[in-house]
Chain A
Amino acid sequence: MFEIIRPQSASLSQEQVTGIQELTSRFSKIKGGLLPCLHAVQRLCNNWLPMEALQLVARGMKVPYPYLYGVLSFYTMFSTQPRGKYIIRLCESPPCHIMGADDLVEVLKAELGVGVGETTPDGLFTLEHTACLGVCEVAPAMQINEVVHGHLSADKIKAILADYRAGKAPNYQELRRTTNELSAYPASPDELVTLRNVDQIDPMSLDDYLARGGYEGLKKALTMTDEEVVNVVKDSGLRGRGGAGFPTGLKWSFTRPVPIFPKYIICNADEGEPGTIKDRYIMEGDPHRVLEGMAIGGYAVGANFGYIYCRGEYYLSIYRLQNAIDQAVAKNLLGDNIMGTGFSFHIQIQPGGGSYVCGEETALIESIQGQRGNPRVKPPFPGQVGVWYKPTIVNNVESWASVPDIIVKGADWFKAKGTEDSKGTKIFQVVGHVNSPGLVEANMGLPLASLINQIGKGCREGKKIKAVQPGGAACGFITPEHLDTPLEYAAMAKVQGAVGSGTNLVMDETTCIIDVVKCLLYFFQHESCGFCLPCRRGTRVLYEMVCKIIDGKGAEADLERMLVLAKAMVDSANCALGWSPYSFLKTTMERFREEWLAHVAGKCPLGVCKPNSHH
């Protein structure tokens, strides 16, 4: 009911007007050109979208202005108010939150002399909050325009701002990595699949990729029948690595026989699940692997076009992927009539606009189509009715990156790895209160304790682990007694955890569970698309109920009411976002009931929660 934040006016220069007209003329010819066009126009207009620019976009893209406004107001990366030269996005999601992001916002406010959402009078900085940036291994973190700054402290922030003020803004394209190199982490005990080239090759070099067997999977696939390719992937036991774990080959086998064309391939690179950082390593370190996997998938199901929907904040990933696409096309490893086989496959990158729910495959599809990122009602599933309402295979970056080696080395090679229940390797991430947050690609079934102790080098500063939230923000909390659980789908489900994206948020004994739950609920109400009633209002109501409890105004009955509401959301919400709160509410209320009750009684036992200071 913030009825219409009227976009501000600006007098555009003739250059800007011509520039916008050129952009709309170019993007109006590309299917799904609206979001990329808005990003480009925003760059041209100094980081924001004035009314005059939007009117030109509306006319040029043949989208009525109210509609355009409705779409752009969905995405947090667009602004209709003037912003500074540098946009500071401070992450406020759980992994950064438990690492002290709250204190940092105060530092930034004081340093800049402005509040969140405001711009410094010199027009240099705009301070914004953001949901997870996908750089949790260096939490707490912020992004200034394209560049991420991690391991933040008050001093570090001051130094960074001083650099920017002095005109020393780093160029993201020259950075080797957004955060750390893979070699910064302890080595995997197992043979690598998706990460095997990362840090071993120059990600900007196709020759390097080819020298390590690159595109051999595609070449081999093109000598097989489409059905054979699908069967190999099916036999390999590969399950979707985005979070839901649906068998990849099975998904392909539903779409391959559908006689509707064109079909599409989508790579879900909207890595937004808090704590999840893995896809970025693949895209930044070995971009061709993703393209190769997609092309194989395209051949297998009969698609000739693929989209990579990459979250807008992953500038370096987009840069490296685009470079890889251009190189592959130049060598005819992508494009028309690939290597003379008659098979054509094109790939287009779609940048996201700052929306977690766009990682849900049908919301992602809507977003590609230039709409608000509302998940569709399913069925039908994308395999039947996907992007542009055609059969579409959506798989996660890690899934696509697994495909080339499966084709080259065979299904048996892949399924020999892992456990009976879960085959192959998976990238696991350990973030939060560990000494060395990071990731590892290991065979499925790696015990959670090994991940925490060997890769994460144990709980920080010798403290005790209080809880782990495996899988991502949508999952339940487990306790130290569950640490020997192998990271595989069945075993994790048994303890009300999940493999999810493979992330594991470790919380030590100084962590207030209720505070983390509040942070999670804030995240979900912020990221709810608003399409379906249970989630649109339920997430907000739950968030405010936790706030009320923290404020000492709750009652024990509120806990039951929260569960009733969260359960009604599970039973009625349109997509998994609305189903999410139930899992962590239920597990924390079961496993940390005393702590909940203490808050109901008006006391945060650890003194973490600050009453009456909520968003």
Chain B
Amino acid sequence: MVNLTIDGRAIQAKKGQTILEVARDNGIYIPYLCYHKALKPIASCRICVVEVKPGPPRPQPACSTYVTEGMEVVTTSERLDVIRRELVKLVLINHALDCPICDKGGECELQNLTHALGIDRVDYEAQVLTPHIDYESSLIERHPDRCVTCGRCIRICRDRVGAMAIHFMNRGYYTELGSGVLPLDCEFCGSCIEICPVGALINKVFKYQARAWELEKTETVCPFCGGGCTYQVQTRDGRILRVANQDSILLCGRGRFGFPVVHSEDRLTTPLIKENGSFRPASWGEALDLVAQRFQEIMAEAGPGAIYGVGSPRATNESNYLFQKFFREVLKTNNLDNPGRYHFVRGMAGLMAVFGVSQVDGLAAPAARVPAYHSPYEVTEGATGSGLMFVLGKLADLPQADVALVVGADVTTELPPLGWALMKARENENFQLIVANPRATKFDRYAALSLQYKPGAERLLMGGLFKAIFAAQPDIAPVINAAGLEEFKESFKKFSLKEYATKAGVDEGQLKTAAELLLKAQAPAIIFGTELLGQDKGQENATALADLFLLVGKPGNPGSGVYMAAEKANTLGLLVVGVLPDRLPGFIPIDKDPGLNLEQMLEALETGHDNAPQALYALGGDLVRWLPNRSRTEKLLKKLKFIVVQDAFLTDTAKLADVILPVAIHVEQEGTFFSSDSKLGLLRKALPENGVRPDWQIIMELANRLGGAFKYVKPAQIFQELAAQLPVCAGLAPGHCFPAPGLTAKLSGQFVPFEQDISLPGRRPYTLIVGKSLQHSGSYTTHQPCGTLMVTPGARLKMNPEDAVALNLGAGETAKIISSHGEITASVSLDADLPPGVVLLPDHFGEPAANRLTLNSNLVRVTIQKM
């Protein structure tokens, strides 16, 4: 602790705190403009200057001066008052005093500052510059005449987002925020808007919708990826007008501008029943009765296994829990799964093979009464745990990693908060980033080493990496108690390091460098996501990376872990609460009569096996859109006698349904999500339901019609029941991850050899990666008036400009893409981030439907022709 005085008051502060922080913590007001708690101080506005003894004769900026023992700080004096008033007057020269039409009115820091200092006139003049207001850019409006040149926007964009899309331009009096291009070409996360102290940056979606003080504010969880950001939904008259993260300020574009989908005209508002090939509205009673009746009929004919359930990564833990409970307890079948089967489940399976399933021992019995959404299990001394959940990294810890290896992931696109965490990690000057990806991605800019490998060659790259590690340190002894190392080493005898490098398309030296970095890392992090897991051998990929962590990981050191990006808000939660054919809540394996997984179910449908289901109950989970080989999925689903889809929109799968039940989405309901790093996010209801219902209520109604006795009145009750089945979540509370830090990890692992090959059959000249767009989350954000549609209104085939020349294709022209399984057309965009021979098509939009081209993977060889 440090002892100092501020304005004569004796204060104790923590070492490393600035004067401004200490003053704020002690209720002492020091005015400022450029400082923001989410950023590192730069001391450019100088308004926070204070007098410091001992110290230089000049006043010092409080935001960047650290407290020292015995320091005497004076925050108000005549001298300081003169300085501050002079400075704020300088700011106010030519400041557009257009407060009545400025959207920042009422929450403007300059207004507040001027008011606090009592400045009633500005007796200085300077050249009036013509403001060139940027009305042209999407989503963000720029008013240079309101800018105070504090640089907050530039800093959050550069230091926190890593986009570096805006910067100061010119200098001196003419210094201002610039981008070098118009309109803006950026990530459109809008964090710059939120952090702007004035109205220089305006949110076009919010503009003129309301005054700041009219808004009701509700803290809830963002639903647009597995990052688990909490944000504040700001509503008026039953509509969301704006969202904000007032803590770190950071949200991604989807998070900040995606909310209007809630109010989309495409939303389903009433149950629909299909009659003679078209849907008609129905009452809830009628629709639910019909579903119950058809389920009973089908089960009576073919047994309970004839109904197949697909859970939803967008639904809450409570709804998904109830869904599996409905199947297991009411329908009495394990025939259910979730769409993560094609990516995230593969990742979990790979990790599980190496580290085992998670389990916690030594806990006391669950408490009878705990606060809502808290685990009834207390973390007691001596409680231990093991398994994969103990190697799963936490985003909050990632900044403490010293080496991060990203494989096959465009980090920000897959999980924006993961990108922010990496940016934070970069603040540690010893941090080293290794980016391995077939194409160039944003984080190459920050990488100490970029390995651009051939598409699909991940496992050969990993083979080479293991080879290089074993060569550099033959007697390597993993920190984690590991079995099977010697046999595992044998599996790399097939090729030399040079051969691995050549096959993967990288440099031998790069592999050696990567190996060195990983070997000397004290807290290595391994990062990957859906794009890597979406391959047919996604599980093998995950196994290889799990093996790597077993070899070099140091899970005792904060930050060291495996970070697996989940695409949707509750992708992990689905697994935790048991929406799996072979596991109960808490990953408890089912030995007797496991159900069919999604792949097996489709196979059974295809072969007409007698265990094939006859009806489908899909809680969201748009199989037609998301599974590879779309025409096969469509064909097979049409074989079913009865399909019920519970969704907010008329999805491609819903179109095949017999009954559609419209559901509430995140802001219309209460419940919880598990982010991909297992943080429990608490959804709070901010809007009325307007006729739709939360999933759990629908499931309950259905269950009770089929002989169940579900008597929940609120999701918290379901959580309570659920949490009692999850010892692995001991100590859990909203905002916290599991396993709890208090549990002693007893980790062990088994090295599992993986297949070292490229699974990319065929001879067609281009490799198509079916990927994701930064601005979209599944198909959720493709509904008007979602804000991000202004930036990315559709999917384009991205290709290297050289390829485009060879194909005689120009930007915006239409290309025909042909695979062995189908063909589609798409508009072309040129992007030098893609190496020649590799093209990328995002899969959010109904058309072009990338999954018409794929067989069992998100990679496929294609031929491309000019239309």
Q: Are A1 and B163 in contact (CB under 8 A)?
A: no
Specify which of A2, A74, A532, A568 is in contact with B45 (CB 8 Å cutoff).
A532
Supposing A539-B172, A541-B90 touch, asked if A73 and B178 sit within 8 A by C-beta, the answer is yes
Q: Are A533 and B832 in contact (CB under 8 A)?
A: no
Give the residues in chain B near A395, CB-CB below 8 Å: none
Asked whether any CB of chain B lies closer than 8 Å to the CB of A216, the reply is no
Give the residues in chain A near B125, CB-CB below 8 Å: 541, 544, 548
Residue of B nearest to A524 (CB): B172
Asked whether any CB of chain A lies closer than 8 Å to the CB of B175, the reply is yes
Q: Fill in one digit per residue for B129-170: 1 if any A CB lies within 8 Å of its CB, else 0.
A: 111111000000010110011000000001000011111111
Asked whether any CB of chain A lies closer than 8 Å to the CB of B301, the reply is no
Asked whether any CB of chain B lies closer than 8 Å to the CB of A460, the reply is no
Q: Are B86 and A564 in contact (CB under 8 A)?
A: yes
Residue of A nearest to B88 (CB): A533
| Bound-state Cα–Cα, A210 to B174, Å | 49
Interface of chain A residues 48 through 65 with chain B (CB within 8 A): 54, 59, 62-65
Asked whether any CB of chain A lies closer than 8 Å to the CB of B219, the reply is no
Q: Are A3 and B168 in contact (CB under 8 A)?
A: no
Closest approach, in angstroms, between the C-beta of A373 and any C-beta of chain B? 8
Q: Are A530 and B90 in contact (CB under 8 A)?
A: no
Asked whether any CB of chain B lies closer than 8 Å to the CB of A340, the reply is no
With an 8 Å Cβ cutoff, the count of chain A residues facing the other chain is: 52
Closest approach, in angstroms, between the C-beta of B187 and any C-beta of chain A? 11
Q: Are B172 and A69 in contact (CB under 8 A)?
A: no
Specify which of B86, B91, B131, B182 is in contact with A4 (CB 8 Å cutoff).
B182
Give the residues in chain B near A68, CB-CB below 8 Å: 180
Q: Are B82 and A568 in contact (CB under 8 A)?
A: yes
Specify which of B45, B59, B64, B124 is in contact with A571 (CB 8 Å cutoff).
B59
Give the residues in chain B near A123, CB-CB below 8 Å: none
Supposing A64-B165, A532-B45, A574-B44 touch, asked if A540 and B181 sit within 8 A by C-beta, the answer is no
Specify which of A66, A355, A389, A544 is in contact with B180 (CB 8 Å cutoff).
A66
Closest approach, in angstroms, between the C-beta of B100 and any C-beta of chain A? 21
Supposing A572-B87, A573-B46, A574-B44 touch, asked if A4 and B169 sit within 8 A by C-beta, the answer is yes
Q: Are B180 and A65 in contact (CB under 8 A)?
A: yes
Give the residues in chain A near B142, CB-CB below 8 Å: 3
Q: Fill in one digit per residue for B28-65: 1 if any A CB lies within 8 Å of its CB, else 0.
A: 00000100000000111111010000000011010010
Q: Fill in one digit per residue for B579-594: 1 if any A CB lies within 8 Å of its CB, else 0.
A: 0000000000000000
Specify which of A3, A54, A529, A531 is in contact with B178 (CB 8 Å cutoff).
A3
| Bound-state Cα–Cα, A70 to B167, Å | 5
| Bound-state Cα–Cα, A530 to B147, Å | 13
Closest approach, in angstroms, between the C-beta of A132 and any C-beta of chain B? 16
Closest approach, in angstroms, between the C-beta of B528 and any C-beta of chain A? 23
Give the residues in chain A near B86, CB-CB below 8 Å: 534, 538, 564-565, 568
Give the residues in chain A near B129, CB-CB below 8 Å: 1-2
Q: Are B181 and A572 in contact (CB under 8 A)?
A: no
Q: Are A389 and B46 in contact (CB under 8 A)?
A: no
Give the residues in chain A near B445, CB-CB below 8 Å: 62, 64
Q: Are A74 and B171 in contact (CB under 8 A)?
A: yes
Asked whether any CB of chain B lies closer than 8 Å to the CB of A31, the reply is no
Q: Are B168 and A534 in contact (CB under 8 A)?
A: no
Specify which of B61, B130, B172 is in contact with A536 (CB 8 Å cutoff).
B172
Q: Are A66 and B167 in contact (CB under 8 A)?
A: yes
Q: Fill in one digit per residue for A345-366: 1 if any B CB lies within 8 Å of its CB, else 0.
A: 0000000000100000000000
| Bound-state Cα–Cα, A409 to B116, Å | 63
Give the residues in chain A near B83, CB-CB below 8 Å: 568, 571-572
Q: Are A66 and B172 in contact (CB under 8 A)?
A: no
Asked whether any CB of chain B lies closer than 8 Å to the CB of A372, the reply is yes
Asked whether any CB of chain B lies closer than 8 Å to the CB of A7, the reply is yes
Closest approach, in angstroms, between the C-beta of B433 and any C-beta of chain A? 13
Q: Is the interface of B mostly helix, strand, loop or mixed?
A: loop
Q: Fill in one digit per residue for B92-106: 1 if any A CB lies within 8 Å of its CB, else 0.
A: 010000000000000
Residue of B nearest to A533 (CB): B45
Asked whether any CB of chain B lies closer than 8 Å to the CB of A526, the reply is yes
| Bound-state Cα–Cα, A559 to B186, Å | 47
Q: Are B44 and A532 in contact (CB under 8 A)?
A: yes
Give the residues in chain A near B174, CB-CB below 8 Å: 1-2, 530
Closest approach, in angstroms, between the C-beta of B679 and any C-beta of chain A? 31
Asked whether any CB of chain B lies closer than 8 Å to the CB of A597, the reply is no
Q: Are B64 and A377 in contact (CB under 8 A)?
A: yes
Residue of A nearest to B129 (CB): A1
| Bound-state Cα–Cα, A355 to B172, Å | 11
Q: Are B172 and A529 in contact (CB under 8 A)?
A: yes
Give the residues in chain B near A571, CB-CB below 8 Å: 49, 58-59, 79, 83
Supposing A377-B64, A544-B125 touch, asked if A537 and B82 sit within 8 A by C-beta, the answer is no
| Bound-state Cα–Cα, A4 to B93, Å | 21
Interface of chain A residues 524 through 559 with chain B (CB within 8 A): 525-534, 536-541, 544-545, 548
Residue of B nearest to A80 (CB): B180
Q: Fill in one digit per residue for B812-855: 1 if any A CB lies within 8 Å of its CB, else 0.
A: 00000000000000000000100000000000000000000000
Q: Are B178 and A62 in contact (CB under 8 A)?
A: no
Asked whether any CB of chain A lies closer than 8 Å to the CB of B690, the reply is no
Supposing A530-B171, A533-B44 touch, asked if A1 and B164 sit within 8 A by C-beta, the answer is no
| Bound-state Cα–Cα, A538 to B175, Å | 13
Closest approach, in angstroms, between the C-beta of B134 and any C-beta of chain A? 7
Residue of B nearest to A54 (CB): B180
Q: Are A572 and B59 in contact (CB under 8 A)?
A: yes
Among A65, A525, A530, A544, find the residue whose CB has the most chain B CB atoms closer than 10 A: A530
| Bound-state Cα–Cα, A525 to B90, Å | 14
Specify which of A1, A540, A574 is in contact with B172 (CB 8 Å cutoff).
A540
Asked whether any CB of chain A lies closer than 8 Å to the CB of B806, the reply is no
Residue of A nearest to B46 (CB): A572
Give the residues in chain B near A71, CB-CB below 8 Å: 167
Give the residues in chain B near A1, CB-CB below 8 Å: 129-132, 144-145, 174, 176
Specify which of B42, B133, B172 is in contact with A526 (CB 8 Å cutoff).
B172
Asked whether any CB of chain A lies closer than 8 Å to the CB of B173, the reply is yes
| Bound-state Cα–Cα, A59 to B131, Å | 30
Q: Are B832 and A536 in contact (CB under 8 A)?
A: no
Closest approach, in angstroms, between the C-beta of A333 and any C-beta of chain B? 33
Asked whether any CB of chain A lies closer than 8 Å to the CB of B368, the reply is no
Give the residues in chain A near B429, CB-CB below 8 Å: 389
Q: Are A528 and B58 in contact (CB under 8 A)?
A: no
| Bound-state Cα–Cα, A7 to B182, Å | 11
| Bound-state Cα–Cα, A540 to B174, Å | 10
30 A-B pairs (CB sep. < 8 Å): A1-B129, A4-B169, A4-B179, A4-B182, A63-B164, A64-B163, A64-B445, A66-B166, A66-B181, A68-B180, A69-B167, A70-B168, A73-B171, A355-B171, A527-B172, A529-B172, A530-B149, A530-B168, A530-B170, A530-B173, A532-B46, A533-B33, A533-B90, A536-B149, A537-B90, A538-B86, A568-B86, A572-B46, A572-B59, A572-B87
User: Top 3 A-B pairs ranked by shortest CB distance?
Assistant: A70-B167, A69-B180, A530-B175
Known contacts A537-B90, A541-B93; 13 further A-B pairs (Cβ under 8 A):
A1-B144, A2-B129, A2-B174, A59-B832, A69-B167, A69-B180, A528-B173, A534-B86, A540-B127, A541-B125, A544-B125, A568-B82, A571-B58
B binding-site residues for A, Cβ under 8 Å: 33, 42-47, 49, 58-59, 61, 64, 79, 82-83, 86-87, 90-91, 93, 123-127, 129-134, 142, 144-145, 148-149, 158, 163-176, 178-182, 185-186, 429, 444-445, 832
